A and B are shown apart, each in its own frame.
Chain A
């Protein structure tokens, strides 16, 4: 076809540009990490090496120079990953020159992570440390049953908080899910704009952890389960909508086509062609989310979202480890029970 021939050169130019950018970044990363970790930390054994913005800048220049030379050879990770370097039938891509650059990056990242995380076996096995570990484990395994009732009530609060947050989010996400589904929205420009705006909103709100939302709402509505519920609600709407819309995107187009062919109205097409295909997956996913939110609600409690997490935070702050031990047992029991129940229910409705 003539259309493809016309498009081809432009396409290759874009691929080469992408490869070049990737190569520059890769080489800059290799240069920077080699200098900061291998040279300064390991060879010079500096404890707190100085940081100047000139260091990443020079690394970038080095990356630029190396990439500019090596883009013409087989030592180009970008060319390899974007498929410009062709692999013959009797060759393996993992043994090509560009693959070794990939291995080098992984190795350097591993070494860097080791130093950045301050991994120290000396501290792990120090007598002082082991003593502390023994103390806390003894306390944890001797829970204070006197606060069982208090813990249980807090746990109930957490479970219900997670439930209402999910339940309130369902109808909102159900409606929004249709507007965030590409296959229903890419018909014309107006709907596709709505789709993109919705997607952007949800990506932003999802990228803010519920933990952060809980902090915001604990200031807004005060510390307590309501703040936690609001935090979970925001997160549920975003994640349920995303999941629901992906469910809609993955449905079989056949029934939609068939219902359209009967002369049905668009609303009828959605109700008869889309909804029957998504109800069970929705239900299954929603129960799974509730299960996750009970766990999350515990964590959210730590920053003022109420429930058992709040209690855990209080006792931990006072270093009352026997009480903490009790709460840990309750949390573990709930998580286990929820996990079991949700998987059973999901199995049953499949």
Chain B
């Protein structure tokens, strides 16, 4: 479904963030990307939906190279790929419902969206996704007044509103406490298993990786150094990925 071939990314300041990264993501997979901070995980995700432009290589999404898309074609590609973020990135001062509805902007006319005119079907769909992420009854609350875990669930509902084929999750639990982290991961798992959405997720904690990932790729200094099953990451691999001095921290 997603084929990444020799992906390179050089930032304007000369930082070579991704070096010849290649891997495939089959439909329905829950893929987790691990690596130290600054290893290029976030850059990699942002190249997939072109929040960052790519410096070299190809990204084939359902057979189409997305790295050269522009304008309407680019927006249509983005509409098929949902994304959630470490800091949730909800629209401040808006309600949960308005935030979830904003996931449908690509299919709403500019004029209608400025006036906030959403169709009845859109609203019903939004309510359905709010229910799926367990926030029924909170749709009229201000999203920025919710707890971190709830905000992340609103973000998931917003991404689902796009009807995505792929969901990108950029360290979705890095600013949450351990208990909430599991809850959010459970919802991602549910999205993956019940709605059949392919998930690509950046994570820090190996314990979460072992629990949720079908497959793992590891980046180090912008280079893909590991690709395999989470259970195959032994002590040796751990030290290769995270450095000699690293000690594994678990959350339960």
Residues of chain A touching chain B, judged by Cβ–Cβ distance below 8 Å, are 1, 3-4, 252, 254-255, 257-265, 267-268, 271-273, 276-277, 279-280
Contacts and interface: CB of A to CB of B under 8 A. Distances in A.
16 contacts: A1-B15, A252-B89, A254-B87, A255-B92, A261-B49, A261-B78, A265-B75, A265-B105, A268-B108, A268-B114, A272-B91, A272-B105, A273-B91, A276-B94, A277-B92, A280-B93
Contacts of A277: 92
A279 B158 CA distance: 23
A252 B89 CA distance: 9
B61 interface: no
B91 A263 contact: no
Given A264-B105, A272-B105, A259 B91 contact: yes
Contacts of B155: 258
B89 A254 contact: yes
B106 interface: yes
A257 B113 contact: no
A255 B75 contact: no
A268 B110 CA distance: 6
Contacts of A268: 105, 108, 110, 113-114
Nearest to A272: B102
A271 B91 contact: no
B132 interface: no
Contacts of A259: 91, 102, 105
B85 A263 contact: no
A227 to B, nearest CB: 37
Contacts of A254: 85, 87-89
B220 to A, nearest CB: 17
B51 interface: yes
B137 interface: no
Given A265-B105, A272-B91, A276-B94, A258 B85 contact: yes
Contacts of B75: 263-265
Interface residues of B, number: 36
Contacts of A1: 14-15
Most buried by B among A3, A252, A259, A268: A268
Given A261-B49, A268-B113, A255 B106 contact: no
Most buried by B among A258, A260, A265, A279: A258
Contacts of A267: 110, 114
B87 A263 contact: no
A271 B114 contact: yes
B106 A262 contact: yes
A334 B78 CA distance: 55
B103 interface: yes
B77 interface: yes
Contacts of B108: 268
A258 B77 contact: no
Contacts of A3: 14
A265 B79 CA distance: 11
A14 to B, nearest CB: 18
A255 B110 contact: no
Contacts of A271: 113-114
Nearest to A251: B92
B196 to A, nearest CB: 20
B160 to A, nearest CB: 11
A254 B51 CA distance: 12
B85 A262 contact: no
B89 A258 contact: yes
A254 B152 CA distance: 13
A186 to B, nearest CB: 11
A276 B93 contact: yes
A125 B110 CA distance: 71
Interface string B36-51: 0000000000000101
A280 B108 CA distance: 26
B94 A261 contact: no
B14 A263 contact: no
B150 interface: no
Given A267-B110, A277-B92, A262 B78 contact: yes
Contact of A255 (B91, B105, B159): B91
B106 A263 contact: yes
B203 interface: no
